[in-house]
Chain A
């Protein structure tokens, strides 16, 4: 382990550039530690986003040496290239300043994919009993731990070349709701994810699965949506 890290941080907006900083190298140092060091000791004008620091909130995703990663749980020793770190904002999203991106588009896709729960009962009805072993619950469980970090969105080739595409996270969310036995919104949800830019735009490159810090597999969720929407279309349940 050397004494210092050769750190290149993106500074400015879309037309910004990488700027070099020297940061002391420490044991068990995360990429977020490095960025925080720069802001606290070298340049207080550096803009970046974080909250929980323990991999729960999904705020701190950045591009680290060319790959989208959650910086609070990424150890420098695992990703630095001979002591060199290049840290930029997430791809496929507009840059606000430095390492922060405007995630409006990412969250708008969740709305477009009908990613909200539609209740089928009132608070006066008894709670439904859902077996943890039921097929639908197992499918939902596999996809439910998403922290909305936007890493899959930044990693996705289809997002890059198709602005209509809903993206892996929104479709993964839709899949959890499709498998929620309490939900009553599936007809409009399946229509939303079966339209132009929906699940059928996915090319199964599996970058989302490769990069997801929670080890989820949005590609599998999207494949599930493809099967479910195809059945619904053939049965005439959706247009």
Chain B
């Protein structure tokens, strides 16, 4: 954390108080991000970016506002505080406003790696080179991304809460395609540590998929048993995340609504192998130490052995319904079953291996029905073995049904490969009755 960070936040809080705020919270975020993007077996864009943002929220009674600035000079901080408080004063009262949490003890989050924090332009080039070399050796064309992020934050509030966090993240992914565009394979990994990315392994896996996905046959749409790689499963999860909300369930606006203003918490809706938790101290996907309104983040069990145990409960909805807010750290882990991907494939008489899923959008929120497509390399499984390449599919699938139809799970990894990556640890999954709707010719 930069020198004087705490004093800067304290200055913002003091200025907000002086301007008339009843309470306020300040968050200073220092980021250093780097990336090297590549395509056509060479570099395309590459950058190092530093950003520092001071965010401030303030309330006067039930009136509140927030704002942020990148001008951290004394006058910039003063201006932000005065502007935010002035807007709060002008804002109408919000009957749902819940005051900032009292002083909290925040959990220690295992989210920092010195190796990841020290990545420089030459390290990035050295990490990408094996991927480009592998593409050339296999007569394939590589496109992909190496990125590394470092964020250091401090959060202070006028109620006396004070917390810091420091997080690194490294991500490498690559798509290797045949020169004639007839096959494509993707692989990638991400994590807190520099050692979480292995360029040789990623290049070999992507090349192996692109090479094996030869002359894909067209299978008819219909229900298939599928093995979803972790990233493919992860692409489906943002829609679930949006739906596990107590308020919308109890107001009749969700897949988890029950008659009479109730929710389906307590019902065994899913397969007994499904357990879904959020833990800020998860080593694979560490969360933030604080949650909404400065509450300390805590471990939350949403699904336990197939039973829906919790829905996300905001502070307002918790107050209104006389319950406790959930206060998770913003991440999710689907607890794995310990099997390897090969062992999952070995359990399938006839089905599909889906390696990547793309463009998932909500279709029917009443059942968390989503649509999307398989992508890059999809394979037929027969007799527990890969039996050949198949063309991709569009699917229309209820996520509630999918979690009900999970047969077995593999080992968790930090999921990557969808549109909204990050914050998800998932295993590969064996699922029955996955609904393919039409054939996609896309490669």
A and B form one complex: no
